[in-house]
A and B are shown apart, each in its own frame.
Chain A
Amino acid sequence: MVIFLLAPLPHVMSAIKYLESIRAAQKYAYPLVLWVQLAICAYPTLPKSVRDSLRQRLPVIFPPNRSSDIDANDEMSQDPVFYILEPVVPYFETIRSYLDRERVGIMIEILWSECATKEEKIQLILKSVG
């Protein structure tokens, strides 16, 4: 299971800190696998036109020292993994490969507290990646 957190970075970092605290306190919690950066924005509740636009425009990368951790040809772990992606270099195909393989079960839409409407959120996403 992969969970994409779509939220501003400080919010995502807060969520990860929370999960890390659970992991530290309870040994049966899943390990958090990756530490990367920002949110990926292709998720099914967005209008298709927006998703298509994001797929064309969204530049993402895993930090260089982590990129070797991810290989689209590898069997994906069953553990939940949080990918937080840095919008610097195109790396979206790796994520697409997970999507295409139907490995991605859940996308969480987190409503951004800074934005009043979904349209505002979409515009903010597009601005962020544009």
Chain B
Amino acid sequence: MESVNDLFQLFRDDDLLIPLSRLLGVQETEDETRVRLLEFVDILNDPVDPYKPTDDDLSAFPKYNGIYA
């Protein structure tokens, strides 16, 4: 899976667009859901403020091979 469109299609194929839209805080339109999903994946791939975890957020978690797995 290489793109948000692929991911979106996967949700559509599995008839999960409505649960996804509710998860992402939109009602039911596909366009809204797609935009919100893109934003979600962007944030997941590249954490930015205010969503970027702080040192305090991470302090309780172990590292593996020097990284948070």
Contacts and interface: CB of A to CB of B under 8 A. Distances in A.
Interface of A: 1, 3, 5, 7-15, 17-19, 21-23, 25-26, 28-30, 37-39, 45, 78, 80, 86-87, 105-106, 108-111, 113-114, 124-125, 127-129
A125 B50 CA distance: 27
Given A7-B44, A80-B23, 15 more contacts: A8-B67, A14-B43, A14-B44, A14-B47, A14-B48, A15-B40, A17-B52, A19-B40, A22-B25, A22-B36, A26-B25, A39-B69, A86-B61, A86-B62, A106-B16
B7 A10 contact: no
Interface of B: 1-2, 7, 10-11, 14, 16, 19-20, 22-25, 27, 36, 39-41, 43-48, 50-53, 57-58, 61-62, 64-65, 67-69
A14 B69 CA distance: 14
Nearest to B11: A106
Contacts of B57: 13
Contact of A29 (B22, B44, B52): B22
